[in-house]
Amino acid sequence: MDVLERIGEQVKNNPVVIYMKGTPQFPQCGFSMRAAQALQQCELPFAYVNVLQDPEIFEHLPRFADWPTFPQIYIDGELVGGCDITLELHASGELKTLMEQAVAKSGAD
């Protein structure tokens, strides 16, 4: 499977997914850490991909949605953005709402 197809499958098959450096438990950069913490504080399930362990995704993800940096957060198949946008959405309460809607739509919880 082509790497962009693989990314597309991950985005489509997970209501919420974060592409980050490291894992939510052991982040490898400050931006990834803060974005993952915001997702965790919503207390809803989300998937993650450690881009440091997958060089193909690390190299090609910026082309997938024309977003050059990490982390990248996708909710309900759409790119939400990176760290700053995620933190703004979390502060306003909108992040949890978006996550709740995506999880409910997928039937996951």
Q: Residue 99: what residue type?
A: M
Q: Do 72 and 18 touch, CB atoms closer than 8 A?
A: yes
Residue list for the binding site: 29
Please give the C-alpha separations between residue 52 and each of 2, 42, 98, in angstroms, as whole numbers: 18, 25, 27
Residue list for the binding site for [2Fe-2S] cluster: 29
Quickly count: other Cβ atoms within 10 Å of residue 1's Cβ.
8
Classified as helix, coil or strand, 67 is coil
Whether the CA torsion 85, 86, 87, 90 is positive or negative: it is positive
